[in-house]
Amino acid sequence: MQEAESNLITNYNALKENPQFLLNLINKYVKVDIIKNTTIYGFVHSIDPIKYSIIILEHQNGTFQTTVIPGHAIIDVSEVNQEINVQLPKRENSTTLTESSISERKQKLISWLKQNLLPVTESEDNIAFGNVLILPPYNINDICTDNVMVATQVKNIINKMPENF
């Protein structure tokens, strides 16, 4: 396999301190060095914000295999130029959201969180308070924080928001 590595080579332990960088790895073609001198190449599907495990989509024989790499086994992650004939697989969305419906959802959620006395601000496209970010499209699966208890509490508050709020 021919590859041209980018300048982006990092120690994975250092990446754990930079959640924004971890978010930027989503959908990127990467080389993951893991213990026992093993390397895995593929597209980053998702990263567990608690244990820092990575779900990789590996290209094999014209299809993609999903591989979960436990966070404790990862040594380094580097973004690389992908093989010319390999493209990121399309993700199937169960519902297509319009920009206006996402914006409406954001405003409703901000109002709901403020009503629940949370000091909410907008940070670019995200909803922010404390060490919590809620990313578009602002559902319970879009909560980013390094604290499981906080994530659970925010999820509970969002779940209690009435449909017609």
- Can you point out the beta strands (E) in 15-150? 29-34, 38-47, 54-60, 63-69, 74-80, 121-123, 126-129, 132-134, 143-144
- Within 8 A by CB and 6+ apart from 143, the residues are 132, 133, 134, 151, 154, 155, 158
pLDDT digits (tens, 9 = 90+) for 15-61: 677 777 777 888 888 999 999 899 999 998 888 877 888 989 988 87
The pLDDT tens digits along the chain (165 residues) read: 434 443 344 567 776 777 777 778 888 889 999 998 999 999 988 888 778 889 899 888 778 888 999 988 998 888 888 765 666 666 555 456 788 888 899 999 999 999 999 999 998 888 999 888 898 888 887 888 888 888 889 999 999 999 888
Model pTM score = 0.50
**DSSP code, position 89:** P
**Long-range contacts formed by 48-51: CB under 8 A, 24+ apart:** 49/19, 49/22, 49/144, 49/145, 49/146, 50/146, 50/148
